[in-house]
Structure 1
Amino acid sequence: MDNRINTNLFLNIRWILIFKSVFLISTILLFSYFFSYAQKVHAAFTIQVLDSSLHPIPGIFVQINDSARAQWNFSDSSGIVEFDDPNCTYCHLQLRGIGYVNVDTFVQYRPMYAIKFILAPALHALKGVEIQSQRPRIISKNEKIIFNWNQLSEFKKGETIWDLLGMTPLVHTINNKLKVLDNENVVIFINGKRQIFSNEELINYLKSMPADRIVQFEIIPIPPANYHVEAGQSVINIVLKKELKDYLGGNISMSALQNSYFNPAAIIHIDGKAGKFSFSNTEYISNSGERDRFTKNYDELQTGYQFLDTYVKNRNRWRIMGSYLYANYDIDTQQSLSTVFFFDNLRSHPTKPEVGDALYFSNSSSTLTDSVGTTYSILNEDSKDVGYTFDYTLNKNKLKINAEIGQIYYNDINQQMTRIESRNENKHDTLFNFIQRINQSIKNTNFYFKIDYTLAKNIILSSGINGYLTNNDSQVNWENFDVSDYVIDSSLSNKYLYVENNFYPFINFSSEIFHKLTINAGVKYEIANNNGKLNNYYIFKRNKSTLIPTFIFSYQINSNDQIVYSYASSKIWPSFWQLNPIRWYQSANDFVEENPYLESAQQNEHMLRYAFHQKHQFILDYKIIKNDYGQYYIFGPNHSITTTRVNFDYTKNFNFNYVTTLSFLHQHVMLNPEVAFNYNQIKGKDTIYADYHKISAMVQLNAQIILSESKNWDCTINGAYYSPSLSGIYENDGLASISMEIKKSIKKWNFGLLVQDPFKMGTIRSKVLTNQPVDMHVSIYADNFFVRFRAVLNFWKNIQISERSMQNQSILERLGH
């Protein structure tokens, strides 16, 4: 069974990669033909308009007069204007713009070259008058909180999507996790289409995707019922600029990051448009290494038994390689067909073992150890993640249809060798010497179909279905060392099969009433058929149906102020990772084990948002989760400690967030502050003791500073502080993070130097909350302190532009689209 699944998986991966290679070759040939043909049949006259600092000037009126006709146009955001094949050798040009000296001259027509004009400022121009047209950087629109990046072009040079997310209010990326408000279950959309990735693949992709075409982030904490999401998920929709003109461009990014190890990385990105066809391709490769440190201080208050455990993970020689390809074809003005292919591969072959040292004391008052335990562990891993999606969109009159289907194949083969030794004055023992081999294969099929019909002006009825079909086959072989070889231990080996088939038919109604009130109400009907087998025996079967209502009420007080109330109810299912019974040892009496008997949870969430003058956003969020699940410590006999997941009676969370945007010194300094207060309560049940509540606070600030506009120097500073808080079974100490990046642009190059967590404030220190006579403190220091240098080269960008598309593009850019 396992061999057949793996064979089918690799056959699918092979054919997908072959198809992608053929597609890329065809795309390169298509663009080569397109541009060679364009040069033969389309002799364009190209003009670029610059100011005295050699910066492009948009919006300059340019007219060319030849022997037969007069053509005119406006310069685009790059200061470029093109005219089709003028009938002249020496052409009459006129350039006019507010605040600049007019130009009236003759130039020689040279179709293979661009002619640059440098306009001098008009000294007699109006003084004291400044005309600006720009959108607020943060606005509230029904279910969405929109943060506009289109105007902040200075801060997008050389950046990635992940970088900009870390600078965006309400989005948190600390410790390599993506959160919206307090929700880690986040789904990424690009131009309204869901990206189907695993969590690790998603973060790798966001770190490799250039941000130069970003228009805005749309943050949707509670999405309506007609969104392509599962229950309890938040959405970040990344809106990219849609080019009307044909082009081919890209960039190469090279970086070197130094934490405990040297981590180089390279990314190449190419995107383009030719007629009805457009595409985007990203290839990335990196070596990743880090040195994390975990400590546990355990003290039994009654017996005096104590141990201090320090575990260091040396994760060097992790190679991450990935590929992402998006292609779109506009069938006509009303229909489009798009597809996405992605591949991610992680290989780990460390040269150093992960080492844990444990000091054991029989009496806490003694300074002499009874014994010393040492854990040596080497993890070799090879995981592959490959997938594709197809999307069809029809937008005709009152009818809009969207259909998506995709698959993900995941395979993880890892082998962890662990040896745990014990030493005291008299003897040296090997307590454990084993190999844990895991072969895990996952196949996920997802689909989405939606019909929107406009019943009347601003009244839309949506109906459809989305579904997720998942098979997870995991084989764990546990082999103990016996005299001269490793022998399989059948009591710890297992075969785990998890099947999850969830379907969500939905209906949604949205309407705008009197231009003030907007109602968005819908319901999903969840049909869940989930089951798990351990060693060919069912350990659970879950066949349940649940109504998931969503209601969003928006009242527009005036053009700047808005109140939004949202409610959603949902069923939350444990993931197959949390159900897979895999055991990881840190010391002889301390291990982590997942729980295949976890039950689902029921969540109800209420959110109230108030936008004051748009840029001030106040958010109240109340969430109660019945039968919630989370990590829990179980203290057993012989001083054993098991970390696993259990179901609680309920958890309650009450959050207040305030975010705003500020600018100073003619927008050379921009600040995005965020303040949050949180009340958290956990209630245990049965044998699970937990009855805790805590109030905590969070302050986050992002600053973007233009140091020198003329010399293209700018700076970004990110800082955050999390006060002592309760999280799951821990009472956490305060946590802080700070980073600063200096950036410089030189022609086609962008350079950046980033320093992250220089004061090493990112250590998590916590006390385990328990009713047992045990005092245990835990600390985790991830390798957060690092220095990174990045260089980005923006290479060729060939353009063929018609006069009509130039005018449309200019209009779109002025409107911020």
Structure 2
Amino acid sequence: MKHIHYSLVFLFVVLSQPLWSQVALRVQLQDSTKQPLGGAALLVRDSAHVYSAISDSSGMALLSLPHAGKYALHISLLGYQPIDTVLPIFSGGSFIPFVLHASPHALSEVVVRTENIAIQQQGEKFILHFVNPNFVQGRSIWDVLKTSPLIQVDENDQLSVLGNGNVIIFINGKRQYISMQALVQMLKGRPADDIQQLEIIPVPTAEYNAPTGSAIINIVFKKSSNYTKGYVNSTTVYRNLFTQMLAAGITHQKGTWSYDINLDGSYNQAQIRQTSTFTDPQLPLEWASTQNTKISYPNLDGSIQLTYQPGKNSELSLFHESYYASANPDHYTQQTFTHYLQTMNNGQDSSDQSFINNKLNYYEANSVLQYSWTQPAQQKKLEFILSHVYVSYAQSHQYAFENYQSSQLKSSTNLYQDMPAFNNNIAARISYTQPVSQKVILSAGAEYTHSYAHNRVNWSQFMGGQYVSIDSLNILYQLPEDVFEGFFNVRMLLSQKFMLNAGLRASHTHDDGKLNGTSVYRRDYNNFIPILQFTYQLSANHQFSYALEDGVYRPTFWDLVPFFKYSSSNVVDQNASSLDKVTYFKNYLTYTLRQKHVFMLYNNFQYHVVSQNGYPYLNPDGKLVFASTNLKYDDLASISYNSSYAFFKGIWNWNPYIYITYHVIRGKDSTAFLDNHRFWTGLLFTNQLVLSRKKAWFAQVYTGFTSPIIGDASFYKQLHAQLQLNISLMKRIKNWTFLLMANDLLNTNQFQTRRYIFQNPMIDYRVQQYYLMPQFAVRISWNFGNQKVSAGEVNQQTIQEIKRRAGVNL
């Protein structure tokens, strides 16, 4: 038995033993006239892995390979004959020149102009290579993201990847814990010249430190050391009211230490109008309502990250962020006027007016301690993360309801609702990646999360000159939660063309929600979340991939608090205390053609999904109630196309995103009547224009058309199509960037109408909610430090390369 044990240990060591030396391969590419060729794609394979690179404007490509030996090399470049060969790589490194010969087939003008971006599929990733340096020079990282395929950014700076708005940002493979608002400001203030590539991961495998159901954008920078970089952003936005934002940050690295400090503050103002009409001919009941909401509030966000590298392959970092926002009742108001054309039981026509003053105080503190140890040549990685998040969320609502009948009789009610809450969360995660054979890499880990949520709801009524507590409505809701999770992922290279990822997340969740000390939400359940992905590369121009993810969304702590609040005197929002978990299944099937055109079939099926806007019904008092509930399922299927084109000598870069979607939502139990389904389509085009390379003038134009849709897990349909137009103009002067923006110029939200679905089909309820005008903004950025900041100069070698390949004089 002991001999068997030693034999197994010896076999494992042999299979997992990496080769410790790392060798460099330098490839020089030229055409038949000895001119360098930039933008060529290189794929290098051994028996287990695939390595890739893009040649620069000098025709040079550099790859770091884990060991000496024989490798298969593929080189492709539009307009030239590809090269496939086998290379012997020696331990001291290799320098190999190649000459590419022009293809006998003539290329069209459009094909030549697609050389700004190359899209490559590699396992679970879509890798965007910026082969034309003019595409990124003179712009910020955020501007590059906005004009990159597979990524969408709306007018409110909300990121999404192929329609998934739950996006996590990584930088150089490391998750960024800074809030998305502060992260956007940082990306706006830092130049994109140092970007090496973007990695887009629609379905992260189990080893990624990302929530289930999320997508990842990994920004990979060129290597640099001993630097100081900083930025200052000032943004002024006008949309009926002014909003002012100011952000600054500095990053410093020297030797083994580095720090990153970011500050972000703003004074936000917004004004929104909502109109609605309601008709129930059976009661009868009919009203028309107009609501104006005005909010003004400051917020402040500050973060610091300290990083220490005790060794070449290890790193220890400490991150902390604090965020605060506050709104006073005088600065957060809702005023609603409702005219009743008919009232219940043939009552007199009447009207009412409601004033709701809201108070808000929000504070969040987030701390993360992370240690990582990596051996890139051996593909080993150890990571440990310890995090703590504390959130304090106190809100209150003061309701003043004034009712009028026949314009003579008047009654009024004054209520006060106070809802203090806090949440405390501690989590620990450990993961390890290790090759177990020449063709198999195993990642495994475990994570534990403990959370405690504490929520109070206190009601009082103004009587006799003072507020008197309404004890029957007061509640205390507490929810402790423990989640134990383990995961593993196996990456297998089955052949030089076929790669497989298979993983599993297994977790156990324990909840014990208590309402006024009595257990009302006790849950113990297990989740098994499989992830399956494969990539098949038929050739350099044809790549296929498939991804399957099964996961669980747990109800949020706030969703489970059984409270209600008024939106107006006749509309009530009601929470539920017993929502079920949501199980989802996501499927992606993609085909990438010529490293430019991405075709995708996508399906997202959610079982027992929680309704987003609530289940609408009329209570006996004639008030419209929207109650949280689980539906039977939400099933969305779509086919989409993404790409990137360049026209007119590279002046115009055009990214189309086109999709056709079929969406169906079904209810269950009390909502079994719900059968909400519809086809819709979207045509979204992002344009980047170079107005003057010499003077560094740039412009971006976004146009989007979407036919009428239905909302996710919702009881409504949109009745009208939406057309959106956003325009921005940017000027670069040395270290300064000036940006003018005009968003939603057509203000089409004003014409969007939602019609809700009721159990009684005769009930008609329609809502319009919109800003009063388009959004206009001015952004000024200043960069400082010893970073490379480009003012939009042209790389002449690359331009000459495009000239020769196009066969024209540009």
CA distance in 1, matches of 2:422, 2:782: 39
Q: 1:324 aligns with which of 303, 307, 314?
A: 303
1:393 shift after superposition: 1.1
- TM-aligned CA distance change 1:798 to 1:299, over 3 Å: closer
Query: In the alignment, what sits opposite 1:676?
Result: 659
Tell me, yes or no, if the aligned pair for 1:250 and 1:797 is still in contact at 8 Å. no
Q: Tell me, which stretches of 5 or more residues in structure 2 are unaligned? A: 1-37, 39-55, 58-111, 789-810
Q: How does 1:692-707 map to 2 (within 5 A)?
A: 692-707=676-691
Aligned to 1:448: 429
Letter in 2 for 1:788: A
SS at match of 2:278: strand
Q: TM (normalized to structure 2)?
A: 0.78
Residues in 1 aligned to 2:258 and 2:663: alpha-carbon distance in whole angstroms? 47
Q: CA deviation at 1:581?
A: 2.9
Could you say if the C-alpha distance between residues 532 and 148 of structure 1 is closer, same or farther in structure 2, counting changes exceeding 3 Å?
farther
The aligned residue for residue 739 of structure 1 is: 726
Equivalent residue, structure 2, for 1:290:
270
Give the match for residue 769 of structure 1. Answer: 757
Deviation of residue 328 (structure 1)? 2.1
Task: Name which of structure 1's ranges 758-767 and 657-666 shifts more when overlaid on structure 2.
Answer: 758-767
Shift of residue 662, structure 1, vs aligned partner: 0.4
What residue is the counterpart of 1:647 in the other structure? 630
SS of the residue corresponding to residue 770 of structure 1 reads: coil
Distance 1:395 1:795 in 2: 32
- 2:154 corresponds to which residue? 174
Distance 1:469 1:771 in 2: 40
**Distance (Å, rounded) in 1 between the aligned partners of 2:733 and 2:745:** 28
Shift in CA distance, 179/469, structure 1 to aligned 2, threshold 3 Å: farther
Please give the per-residue CA displacement for 1:214-250, whole angstroms capped at 9, x wherever unaligned.
444422222212222333x222233142542312121
Q: Which runs of 5+ in 1 are unaligned?
A: 1-57, 59-75, 78-130, 800-817
For 1:152 and 1:578, the matched residues in 2 are separated by: 48
Separation of aligned partners in 1, 2:191 and 2:174: 19
Q: How far, CA to CA, are the matches of 1:657 and 1:567 in structure 2?
A: 17
Whole-Å separation in 2 of the counterparts to 1:511 and 1:534: 49
Q: Measure the CA separation in 2 of the matches of 1:549 and 1:663.
A: 40
- For residues 158 and 261 of structure 1, do their structure 2 counterparts lie closer, same or farther at Cα, with a shift above 3 Å needed? farther
Q: Give the equivalent residue in structure 1 for 2:648.
A: 665
In the other structure, the counterpart of 2:287 is: 307
* 1:388-427 deviation line (CA, Å, top 9, x unaligned): 1111111234532111111111111222212111123354
Q: Cα distance 1:428–1:338, how it changes in 2: closer, same or farther (>3 A)? A: farther
1:710 correspondence with 2:694: yes
Matches within 5 A, 1:556-575: 556-575=537-556
- Secondary structure in 2 aligned to 1:639? coil
8 A Cα contact 2:686 2:701, kept in partner: yes
Counterpart-to-counterpart distance in 2, 1:351 and 1:399? 54
CA contact (8 A) 2:117 2:131 kept: no
Distance 1:182 1:467 in 2: 30
- 1:586 Cα deviation after fit: 2.2
Work out the CA distance in 1 between the residues paired with 2:787 and 2:210. Answer: 38
The aligned residue for residue 94 of structure 1 is none
Q: 1:379 to 1:151 in 2, by over 3 A?
A: farther
Q: Which amino acid aligns with 1:636?
A: N
Out of 277, 293, 301, the position equivalent to 2:257 is 277
RMSD: 2.7
1:202 has 2:180 as partner: yes
Q: Distance in 1 between matches of 2:240 and 2:698?
A: 28
Indicate the residue corresponding to 1:102 in structure 2: none
Once residues 558 and 141 of structure 2 are traced to their aligned partners in structure 1, the CA distance between those partners, rounded to angstroms, is 29
Change (3 A) 1:710 1:157: closer
Residues 292/158 of structure 1: CA separation in 2 closer, same or farther (3 Å cut): farther
The letter of the residue matching 2:538 is: I
Residue 229 of structure 2 corresponds to residue 249 of structure 1: yes
Alignment size in residue pairs: 664
Q: Residue 269 of structure 2 aligns to which amino acid in structure 1?
A: G
Equivalent residues of 2:332, 2:359 under 8 A apart: no
Q: Does 1:579 align with 2:556?
A: no
Q: Return 392-401 or 546-555, whichever deviates more.
A: 392-401
Deviations 1:708-730 (A, max 9, x none): 01111110111222211222111
How far apart are residue 154 of structure 1 and its match?
A: 5.9
Residue by residue over 1:293-318, the C-alpha shift from the partner in whole angstroms, topping out at 9 and shown as x without a partner, is 122210013244211122111012x1
**Structure 2 CA distance, aligned partners of 1:591 and 1:391?**
44
**Matching residue of 1:796:** 785
Residue 385 of structure 1 corresponds to 364
Residue 221 of structure 1 aligns to which amino acid in structure 2? P
Q: State percent identity of aligned pairs.
A: 22
1:432 and 2:398 are equivalent in the alignment: no
Task: For 1:440 and 1:781, locate their aligned partners in 2 and report how far apart those are by CA, in whole Å.
Answer: 30
Deviations 1:753-809 (A, max 9, x none): 10111221134421101231311111111467211111111223389xxxxxxxxxx
Distance, in Å, in 1 between the alignment partners of 2:121 and 2:457 is 49
| TM-score in terms of structure 1 length | 0.77
Distance 2:198 2:507 in 1: 29
Deviations, residues 166-211 of structure 1 (Å, cap 9, x unaligned): 43433334364443333333333333233346xxx42343244434
Q: 1:500 to 1:158 in 2, by over 3 A?
A: farther
Q: CA–CA distance in 2 between the matches of 1:468 and 1:246?
A: 37
User: 8 Å contact 1:756–1:784 — kept in the other structure?
Assistant: no
Question: What SS class does the counterpart of residue 205 from structure 1 fall into?
Answer: helix
Kept after mapping to 2: 8 A contact 1:375/1:586: no
Secondary structure class of the residue paired with 2:559: helix
Q: Equivalent residue for 1:636?
A: 619
The alpha carbon displacement at 1:594 in A equals 2.1
Distance 1:410 1:560 in 2: 49
CA change 1:582–1:154 in 2 (3 A) is farther
Alignment of 1:590-609 (within 5 A): 590-609=571-590
Aligned residue among 714, 730, 747 for 2:716: 730
Deviations 1:68-87 (A, max 9, x none): xxxxxxxx99xxxxxxxxxx
Where 1:762 maps in the other structure, the secondary structure is: helix
